[in-house]
């Protein structure tokens, strides 16, 4: 069995500019997630904003089955060329897991075709993620809910395109709610948005959160092949297929009579 090739992309800005974040994630959010994904079925690589081409070269993306994306302070610093490159790969079958404030990234907004905005509040509130689809692959191994002691509030209305599947709904101490675990398909690629993960709190050190991310990677892995389009089909090729199909049917009919 081939392993799932995972690239974890992170701005890696807050960890180096805000002491409290650096204390929680001394080697970066990307490194913390990578260390938590102890799974022999996964091959892990990381990339950050300040690398050449943000670490997302054509070669790197060609060797990525699932891309994780964490961004916040530097959405506009991501080049449009790299965004287009990721967009193409998702449509061709690469999975994309968008984390927390990545909802406002260029790539997520492009894939959604909407503003991807909502209400928010930084007050260290308790968050409870209710599992609303317990049969879903991403929810496996979880209880009825995940409790996060302190979190940033993200609240409805959330201006995303209607999810194909909803896995989690979050409730916050202040009474707000959010569709916090959402799934889509774009082209041949699967997309999962997972809202918890504010950098001021050790959310990615929480085992249940790590399990969701691991499950999401397995769910988002490529399946099948992308459609072979656009492609002109010459008349001769279509006729040849019809002839071959006719011969196959004739042969099958002969076997049945025998």
Confidence band (pLDDT; 50, 70, 90) for 224?
confident
What is the model's pLDDT at position 119? 98
Confidence band (pLDDT; 50, 70, 90) for 247?
low
What is the model's pLDDT at position 96? 98
What is the model's pLDDT at position 20? 98
Question: CA–CA separation, 125 vs 118, rounded Å?
Answer: 17
Confidence band (pLDDT; 50, 70, 90) for 252?
low
pLDDT exceeds 80 at position 217: yes
What is the model's pLDDT at position 38? 85
- Segment (H or E) for 90: helix 80-92
CA torsion 177-148-11-34 (nearest 10°) is -130
- Segment (H or E) for 147: strand 145-155
Rg (CA), the chain: 22
| Arithmetic mean of pLDDT, 70-95 | 98
Confidence band (pLDDT; 50, 70, 90) for 19?
very high
Cα 103 to chain centroid distance, Å, stands at 11
The two structure tokens encoding residue 66: 């699932």
pLDDT exceeds 90 at position 248: no
CB 229 within 8 A of CB 207: no
pLDDT exceeds 70 at position 253: no
49-83 burial code (b ≥16 CB/10 A, e <16):
beeeebbbeeebbeebbbbbbbbbeebeebeeebb
Of 39, 44, 40, 49, the C-alpha closest to 67 is: 44
Name the least confident of 26-35, 161-170, 216-225, 248-257.
248-257
- Segment (H or E) for 207: helix 207-220
Of 219, 150, 207, the C-alpha closest to 181 is: 219
Question: CA–CA separation, 203 vs 189, rounded Å?
Answer: 27
* pTM, two decimal places: 0.91
Calculate what percentage of the chain has a pLDDT beyond 70: 94
What is the model's pLDDT at position 255? 64
Name the least confident of 21-35, 156-170, 210-224, 243-257.
243-257
pLDDT exceeds 90 at position 104: yes
pLDDT exceeds 80 at position 201: yes
| Arithmetic mean of pLDDT, 151-176 | 98
Question: CA–CA separation, 127 vs 151, rounded Å?
Answer: 6
What is the model's pLDDT at position 130? 98
Residue 196: what are its φ and ψ, rounded to 5°?
Answer: -65, 150
Question: CA–CA separation, 184 vs 95, rounded Å?
Answer: 10
What is the model's pLDDT at position 163? 98
CB 181 within 8 A of CB 196: no
């Amino acid at each position: 069995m081939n392993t799932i090739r995972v690239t974890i992309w992170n701005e890696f800005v807050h960890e180096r500019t805000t002491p409290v974040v650096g204390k929680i994630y001394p080697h970066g959010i990307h490194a913390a997630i990578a260390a938590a994904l102890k799974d022999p079925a996964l091959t892990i690589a990381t990339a950050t904003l300040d690398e050449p081409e943000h670490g997302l070269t054509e070669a790197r993306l060609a060797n990525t089955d699932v891309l994780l994306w964490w961004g916040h302070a530097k959405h506009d610093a991501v080049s449009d060329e790299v965004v287009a490159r990721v967009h193409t790969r998702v449509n061709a079958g690469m999975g994309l897991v968008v984390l927390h404030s990545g909802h406002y990234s260029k790539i997520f907004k492009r894939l959604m075709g909407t503003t991807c905005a909502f209400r928010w509040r930084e007050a260290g509130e308790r968050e409870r993620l209710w599992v609303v689809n317990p049969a879903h692959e991403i929810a496996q191994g979880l209880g009825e809910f995940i409790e996060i002691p302190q979190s940033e509030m993200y609240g409805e209305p959330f201006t995303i395109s209607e999810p194909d599947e909803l896995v989690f709904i979050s409730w916050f101490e202040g009474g707000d709610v959010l569709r916090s675990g959402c799934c889509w398909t774009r082209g041949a690629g699967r997309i999962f948005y997972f809202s918890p993960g504010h950098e001021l709190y050790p959310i990615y050190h929480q085992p249940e959160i790590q399990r969701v991310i691991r499950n999401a990677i397995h769910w988002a892995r490529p399946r099948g092949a992308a459609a072979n389009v656009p492609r002109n089909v010459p008349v001769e090729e279509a006729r040849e297929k019809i002839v071959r199909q006719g011969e196959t049917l004739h042969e099958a009919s002969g076997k049945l009579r025998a």
